[in-house]
Amino acid sequence: TTTTAIDENIETTNGKTVHFMEDVLAGLNRSPKHLESKYFYDQLGDRLFQQIMAMPEYYLTRCEMDIFENKTAEIAQGIRSADTPFDLIELGAGDASKSVHLLQYLQEQGTDFRYMPIDISGNILSELKQKLIRDLPDLNVECLEGEYFDMLYKASQLSSRRKVILFLGSNIGNMELEDAYRFCFELRKNLNKGDVVMIGFDLKKEPNTILNAYNDPKGVTASFNLNLLERINRELDADFVVDQFEHYETYDPLSGACRSYLISLKEQQATVGNQVFHFSENEPVYMEVSQKFSLEDSRKMASQSGFEPHKSIMDSRGWFLDAFWTA
Ligand code: AVJ
């Protein structure tokens, strides 16, 4: 091929290469410029996201926590834990602060299952492993570091037991809608009849409540976005002048898309790899979508991707939905 030979890819601890440089260059060559939010989560990004989850404005975590703490038995019912032994695979597990409640409950019920957290952050996975060894010493755990489908494939190779997939926290909202549809379709193709998925959807609600969750006054979300520029500087030896970019958040109540941008505060340039990128004054770099859904939206997504929705659990305010679909 004729591809250039800048190979500043990240070698993760399990040997899986993440194409950070390639993806950053591709995104900055697009119009409008775009950086992928999956790269927010380096060590500092993990910390900042934990700070976001602790903010009063960021209701999502507490809503889903309400479900995991107070409706644990219903969740267990939704994944039909009484049936057969299964692998409980969590996509983007992070610190698993919500799912531990389910893990503990399943253990108390004497359920035969193995917990397989998947995350792109090896850093957060090793912390999770430590925590689980300490708090749930009898739990059977297998951590998988990498991208969702690579690791799902690996999980299938490790065992042929029934699968229960957790995709929580409205992580699905980080995909453009068409990508989310494609993702669910792909997920269905990778599962067998009778496997179950539990997906967290942040629901459409009063628009300012949503906007405030992503536009906090202390600027934690701004730092979370700007950290990606810092990360590119650190890991790809780039030279973004980070304080010359400003975080800007929007929520469109029609489409349900909450989107973040970094706005270039002046005309400037940045060098990444061997490429120079020009930013005009007020030029937006599109960073992240956090899509919001109605119950109908989620049901449509299930049926269009070949799943059968069989259960819905909401938090007490009806702000967040955990949907259960059967393959
Ligand atoms: C981790 C994808 C659920 O979109 O709500 C939080 C990430 N971005 N604040 C979300 C995020 C800005 C978060 N998810």
Evaluate: CB of 214 within 6 angstroms of ligand 1.
yes
Find where tokens 């690996």 sit.
154
pLDDT tens-digit map of 253-266: 999 999 999 999 99
* Nearest atom, ligand 1, residue 53 CA: 6
**Distance between CA atoms of residues 312 and 322, nearest Å:** 6
* Nearest atom, ligand 1, residue 290 CA: 4
pLDDT tens-digit map of 137-160: 999 999 999 989 999 999 999 999
Q: What is the pLDDT of residue 230?
A: 98
The ranges of the chain with pLDDT < 50 are: 1-8, 12-17
Looking at the DSSP bridge assignments, the partners of residue 310 are: none
**Distance between CA atoms of residues 323 and 27, nearest Å:** 32
Pocket probe for ligand 1: among 37, 47, 49, 210, the residue whose CB has the most ligand atoms within 8 Å is: 49
- Tell me, in angstroms, the distance from the centre of ligand 1 to residue 285's CA: 17
Cβ atoms 167, 92 nearer than 8 A: yes
Q: What is the pLDDT of residue 200?
A: 98
- Tell me, in angstroms, the distance from the centre of ligand 1 to residue 216's CA: 13
Atom 3 of ligand 1: nearest residue by CA position = 171
CA 89 from centroid of its chain's CA atoms: 14
Evaluate: CB of 227 within 6 angstroms of ligand 1.
no
* Nearest atom, ligand 1, residue 170 CA: 3
Find where tokens 């038995």 sit.
73
Q: What is the pLDDT of residue 82?
A: 58
- Tell me, in angstroms, the distance from the centre of ligand 1 to residue 187's CA: 21
Angle between helices 43-54 and 122-135 (to 10 degrees): 60
Evaluate: CB of 92 within 6 angstroms of ligand 1.
no
- Tell me, in angstroms, the distance from the centre of ligand 1 to residue 34's CA: 17
Pocket probe for ligand 1: among 50, 51, 53, 171, the residue whose CB has the most ligand atoms within 8 Å is: 171
**Distance between CA atoms of residues 62 and 55, nearest Å:** 10
Pocket probe for ligand 1: among 251, 288, 293, 322, the residue whose CB has the most ligand atoms within 8 Å is: 288
pLDDT tens-digit map of 171-225: 999 999 999 999 999 999 999 999 999 999 999 999 999 999 999 999 999 999 9
Whole-angstrom CA distances from 192 to 181, 196, 322 are: 18, 9, 21
Evaluate: CB of 61 within 6 angstroms of ligand 1.
no
Evaluate: CB of 171 within 6 angstroms of ligand 1.
yes
Could you give the 3-state DSSP secondary structure of residue 260?
A: strand
Which helix H or strand E contains 158, and what residues bound it?
helix 148-158
Q: Going by C-beta distance under 8 Å and a sequence separation of 6 or more, which residues neighbour residue 17?
A: 9, 10, 11
- Tell me, in angstroms, the distance from the centre of ligand 1 to residue 53's CA: 9
At residue 316, φ and ψ (nearest 5 deg) are -65, -30
- Structure pTM? 0.91
Using a 10 angstrom Cβ sphere, with 0-12 exposed, 13-18 middle and 19 or more buried, the burial of residue 166 is: buried
Residue closest to 97 by CA, chosen among 56, 66, 74 = 66
